[in-house]
Amino acid sequence: MARYFTDEHEWIDVDGDTATVGITDYAQGQLGDIVFVELPSAGTSLSKGGDAAVVESVKAASDVYAPIDGEVTEGNAALEDDPALVNTAPEGDGWFFKMTIGDASQLDGLMDEAAYKSFCDSL
């Protein structure tokens, strides 16, 4: 399973023809305490770079973008009851949604873990 990162601080795990999307540990650290996550419903068409979800911290609302084209297959129901999972397990149980992979070539433009780490270090 390969994991990719965007410069908007989303991560995407690719497993066959589906992918799981969340926000990175760096992103949750910048946002602070997460109190609400608005997820796309199953069947929503996403386009790379377009709005996919909204994450609300105590302070402000922030958009989460789709890392690639595709269709939402499932939102993470656990975030409804416990949005703080995004803080405690951002790159694990705090995932946002699963989606189909509309165009696998779009993955080529994303960063791998090492590239993302040096990207964050440069911020």
Partner 1 sequence: MLSEDIEIEEPETGTLPLDAWHRDKGARMVEFAGYWMPIQYEGIVAEHEWTRSNAGLFDVSHMGQLLLSGPDLDAAVEAVLPIDLSTLKLGQQRYSLLLDEDGGVLDDLMVSRWPECLYLVVNGATKWDDIGHLREYLPDEITLNHLDEQALLALQGPKAADALARHATGEYPLSALTFMKFGRFTIAGHEVTIARAGYTGEDGFEISLPGHATEEIADVLCREPEVKPIGLGARDSLRLEAGLPLYGHDLSPETSPIEAGLVFGINKRRRSPVEQGGGGYPGATRINREIVEGTLRKWVGLKVEGRMPAREGAEVFAGGEQVGVVTSGGFSPTLGAPIAMAYVASAHAATGTALEIEVRSKRLAATVVPTPFVPHRYYRGK
Interacting residue ranges for partner 1, rule: CB under 8 A: 32-33, 35-36, 38, 54, 56-61, 80, 83
**54 or 89, CB closer to partner 1?**
54
| CA torsion through residues 24, 94, 100, 114, sign | positive
Structure tokens at 5: 């990162």
Write down the least CB distance from residue 110 to partner 1, Å. Answer: 27
The answer to whether the CB of 32 falls within 8 A of the CB of 57 is yes
Write down the least CB distance from residue 57 to partner 1, Å. Answer: 8
**13 or 38, CB closer to partner 1?**
38
What single-letter DSSP state applies at residue 16? Answer: T
Write down the least CB distance from residue 61 to partner 1, Å. Answer: 6
The answer to whether the CB of 97 falls within 8 A of the CB of 53 is yes
| CA torsion through residues 33, 98, 8, 112, sign | positive
**9 or 19, CB closer to partner 1?**
9
Write down the least CB distance from residue 59 to partner 1, Å. Answer: 5
**58 or 104, CB closer to partner 1?**
58
Q: Dihedral, CA atoms, 59, 36, 26, 23, nearest 10 degrees?
A: -140
